[in-house]
Amino acid sequence: MNPSDSYADMLAAVQAFHDKHQFKNTGGEDLTYRIALMAEELGEISSCVTKGKSREQLSEEVADLFILVLGTAISADFDLNQAFWDKMEKLDMRKSKMINGRIRVSEFRDVD
């Protein structure tokens, strides 16, 4: 398989993986199940960081999460590419604040 940085190629590869293992018909596209898998991957990413594992191990775990995110877009039938650009546009309009010595970009709401 030739690596590509094309979103369409990555999405097609994940779709092919779903098709190969019949995710649609065997519960692999159930959104609750997919959330649990993503939480599991976040735990593995956390372990890589907190236990000082290698950059290679970290990149593999992040790739697992990315594949799950792409697969969730397939499962829930939404255009993640468009959602990404729509969200980036919103984020670009937000202000940042230093909170506890770290930068945060969010929708800050004033509390009365």
Domain boundaries, the chain: 7-79
pTM of the model: 0.87
* Run means of pLDDT, 10 residues per run, the chain, 112 residues: 80 97 97 97 97 97 98 98 96 94 89 56
Confidence at residue 77, expressed as pLDDT on a 0 to 100 scale: 97
Q: Per DSSP, what are the bridge partners of residue 104?
A: 97
Contacts of 71 (CB under 8 A, 6+ apart): 14, 17, 18, 23, 29, 34
Q: Please check whether the domain covering 7-79 is classified as CATH 3.30.2320.
A: no
